[in-house]
Amino acid sequence: MNRRQFLTAAAALSSTALLPPFAYAQKYPTKPIRLIVPFGAGSTADVIARLIGNSVGADLGQTFIIENKPGAGGTLGAMEAARAPNDGYTLVLGTVASHAVGPLTMQNVNYDPIADFAPITLVADAPAIMVVHPSVPATNLAEFIAYVKKVGNLDYASAGTGTTTHLAGEALKLKAGINLTHVPYKAVGQAITDVVSGQVKMMIYQVPSVKPFVDDGRLKAIAVTTAKRIALMPNVPTIAETYPGFDFSAWFGVLAPAGTPKPILEQLHASILKAMGTPELKKSMEVQGLVASGIGPDQFAATMKSALPVWKEIIAATGTKAQ
C-alpha cells in the first residue's frame, strides 16, 4: 500500500469511527414490531394500543402486532416485555398498574418498573373525579372535609383494592386527617349504582363514567385527583389546590426493554406523536376522558421516577395488598 492509499484508508476509518453506532447499524425497523398490552381485549389500554399500532405501523412501514397478555394487574405482560431483547421489536403499553401499583402490592413480580424499562412516551392520563351523593351537604372539598369530621366517618366506593381510585381515597384520608371507610367493588357499574342511590355516599372514579350523573344532578362533583384541572370539567377544582402535590391518576405509556438504543426510542416517539395527532385517536381519547400527553423518553422517565415514591408511600402507609 502506497502513502496515498494509506492516508485515504485512514481517513475513511477515522470518519466511520466518529459516527454513532446507530448511524451505520441496520435500518430500523426491518421486521414487524410487537406491542404487548398487559390487559384484555377491549380495555382502554387495548383500544389505545390498536389505534397507535395502526398509525405507527403505516408510518414506519412495518406491521404492529398487538399481543394481549392480561393477568396479575398488568404485571404478567410487563414481565414478558422486560425479558425481551432490547432491539426495539418488543414494546409494552404500560400503565400505572403495571409500572407502579402492581410491583408495589404484588408478590412474585420479578422486574423493576424503572430499571428494566426504557420509556418512550406517556400517551395519556386518565383523570379521576371525586363525587358524592346529593344528600352530602358539601359543594367543595373544604365543606366535605368539615362534614366528615362532624359525622365521624364516611364510606367511599372504588373499583377495587389497590386501584388508583382506591389509593387516591386513602391519600385524601391521610392528607385531610379524616375517617373514610373503603368499600371495594368488583363491578364498577354496581359501585356507581350504589352511590347514585345513596347506599354509599362517595366515590372516586374516571370522569367519563360518572360525569353524566353529575350533569343530571344525581351526583355532585367535589374535586378531581389530577394536578391540574381538566378540560371536560374546568370548573371542578383539584384536590391539589387544597393539598399541593396531590396527583393520583391512571396513565398509559409506551415503553421498551432497558438498553434499547436511544435513536430507536426517539424514532418511535416521533411516530407515536404523529399517531396521537390523527382524528381517530384524538376522538377515542376524548370519548374515554383521557388527557393526551406525548412527552418524550427523558421526561417520561423522570416522571415515572418521581411518581413511584409517592405510590410507594401511600401503599406502605395503608398496608395495601393486591387482591
The pLDDT assigned to 323 comes to 61
According to DSSP, the residues that pair with 205 across neighbouring strands are 129
- The x, y and z cell numbers of residue 10, run together, are 485512514
Q: Model's pTM, two decimal places? A: 0.83
Residues in the chain: 323
- The x, y and z cell numbers of residue 168, run together, are 387516591
Left (φ > 0), alpha (ψ -120 to 50) or beta: where does 71 sit?
left
User: What CATH class does 33-126+249-318 carry?
Assistant: alpha beta
- The x, y and z cell numbers of residue 201, run together, are 355516599
The pLDDT assigned to 201 comes to 97
Q: Does 33-126+249-318 match 128-241 in CATH topology? A: yes
- The x, y and z cell numbers of residue 158, run together, are 372504588
- The pLDDT tens digits along the chain (323 residues) read 444 444 444 444 444 444 444 443 469 999 999 999 999 998 889 989 999 999 999 999 999 999 999 998 899 999 999 999 999 999 999 999 999 999 999 988 999 999 999 999 999 998 999 999 999 999 999 999 999 999 999 999 998 888 889 999 999 999 999 999 999 988 889 999 999 999 999 999 989 889 999 999 999 999 999 999 998 899 999 999 999 999 998 899 999 999 999 999 999 999 999 999 999 888 888 888 888 999 999 999 999 999 999 999 999 988 888 76
The pLDDT assigned to 219 comes to 98
Spatial separation of the C-alpha atoms in residues 28 and 115, rounded to whole Å: 24
List CB contacts of 265: < 8 A, sequence separation 6 or more.
Answer: 88, 118, 119, 120, 256, 297
Cis upstream peptide for 29 (omega within 30°): yes
Q: Could you give phi then psi for residue 129, rounded to 5 degrees?
A: -130, 145
The CATH number of domain 128-241 is 3.40.190.10? yes
Instruction: Count other Cβ atoms within 10 Å, centred on residue 288.
Output: 17
The residues spanned by each domain of the chain are 33-126+249-318, 128-241
